[in-house]
Structure 1
Amino acid sequence: MTREGPLLETLTRRLAETPPDFLAEPRLGTAGGVHVDAVVADLLRDLGGGPLEREALTAFRSAAPGRQRNRLRLILIVCWLLHDPWFRARGLASAAQRLLERGLDELAEVVPAERCLADADRREEIARLALEGLGLRPAGETEAQARDRLTTLSSIERRRVIAAARAAEARAREVREAMARQAAYDAQAKAMRE
């Protein structure tokens, strides 16, 4: 997040205006229509990259539906976002490839792709996540502000906090139950002595 990127409002507006083609079903085995690997290859070429190796393209294919479907749909959405003229003018192909290969996996487990477009906070989250993956921050923000705002919006961070809170509550419940058992045992032992 060291370099300044485009205005966040431009990116969230672009996400809100995502064409339906980028929400179409990704190719999963023989089902679905959009070849995500081809869309990614075209984007990376437009961002100044060369042709992708066959092995690199496998990250954007899936024979199994399920979790991969949402991940591939998020990749399509981010491809649309990164095809903005601001990114095309800056030769960010290698950073974009890393982002598309691995940067959306956790988000795909938590947030449905449609929600990343329908909800304003999720649009901002995916825009910020994309910028972070490219080593950029929104125009007009410091690194600390950009990081803080991404953490505040992060569905992934929210999931971690909720899991930690549940674990802490379970541990507190176990401690209370153990203390109640010990108090009952102590009371019984005292009654026997008297």
Structure 2
Amino acid sequence: MNQIGPDLEVLTHRLAETPREFLGEPRIGSSGAIHVAALINDVLKMNGTKTSYAVLARFQSRDAKTDRNRLALAMIAAWLLADDWFVKTRIAQTELLKVLDDAVAELASATPAHQFVNDPDRREELARVALARLDYRPAGETIAQATDRLSSISGTERRRLLEASRAAEERARSIREALARKAAEESADKWTRD
């Protein structure tokens, strides 16, 4: 979140006014109306990037039970990332996919997609997660404020930060143990030489 992004209110307002077309049923197999891969392709084109069929294939499915919510949220995230601010910023495809693919999958695993339109806290969560994954923070916020607010509103970000903290603590513990073993070995070597 090192870069300053747009006003958060602009993004949450945009989410609150998500058009019906982005809230329809995603095309899964032969049911549903909206081809999510086409929406994703359009957003990537708006940002000046072209993508491969392999990338777009991640936004197609034949299994409604496992993919419906993820694809529905991908449509909402596509609407968010089609905002003028994102388009003018020209964000790289790999960065956009961190939101459209990775972040959406995490958020969709915990929350129904339409709550990110209907619930003010979930709108804020989606906007903040999208900005954070792109290394931006809302305008008018310091890095500390943005990080604190994101971790307080987003269950997935809290979980991700907790896992990162646990991993860092595990690495630190391993290093301490290795240093202690090395010190013990050096001490034992010193005593055997004397």
TM range (shorter): 0.7 to 0.9
Amino acid at match of 2:106: E
Once residues 100 and 151 of structure 2 are traced to their aligned partners in structure 1, the CA distance between those partners, rounded to angstroms, is 20
- CA RMSD in angstroms, aligned pairs only: 1.6
Once residues 92 and 158 of structure 2 are traced to their aligned partners in structure 1, the CA distance between those partners, rounded to angstroms, is 30
Alignment of 1:1-194 (within 5 A): 1-50=1-50, 52-94=51-93, 95-156=95-156
Amino acid at match of 1:72: L
Once residues 129 and 144 of structure 1 are traced to their aligned partners in structure 2, the CA distance between those partners, rounded to angstroms, is 15
Amino acid at match of 1:35: H
Once residues 53 and 159 of structure 2 are traced to their aligned partners in structure 1, the CA distance between those partners, rounded to angstroms, is 35
Once residues 157 and 3 of structure 2 are traced to their aligned partners in structure 1, the CA distance between those partners, rounded to angstroms, is 24
- Does the 8 Å contact 1:82/1:88 carry over to 2? yes
**TM-score relative to the length of structure 1:** 0.78
Once residues 21 and 29 of structure 2 are traced to their aligned partners in structure 1, the CA distance between those partners, rounded to angstroms, is 19
| Superposed CA offset, 1:130-165 (max 9, x none) | 1112111100111111111011001325679xxxxx
Amino acid at match of 1:84: D
Structure 1: gaps (5+ residues):
161-194
Amino acid at match of 1:70: N
Q: Which has the larger radius of gyration?
A: 1
Once residues 157 and 135 of structure 2 are traced to their aligned partners in structure 1, the CA distance between those partners, rounded to angstroms, is 19
Once residues 143 and 158 of structure 1 are traced to their aligned partners in structure 2, the CA distance between those partners, rounded to angstroms, is 16
Once residues 100 and 112 of structure 1 are traced to their aligned partners in structure 2, the CA distance between those partners, rounded to angstroms, is 16
- Does the 8 Å contact 2:74/2:100 carry over to 1? yes
Runs ≥4 residues deviating over 4 A: 157-160
Amino acid at match of 2:129: L
Count of residues paired in the alignment: 160
What percentage of aligned pairs have identical amino acids?
48
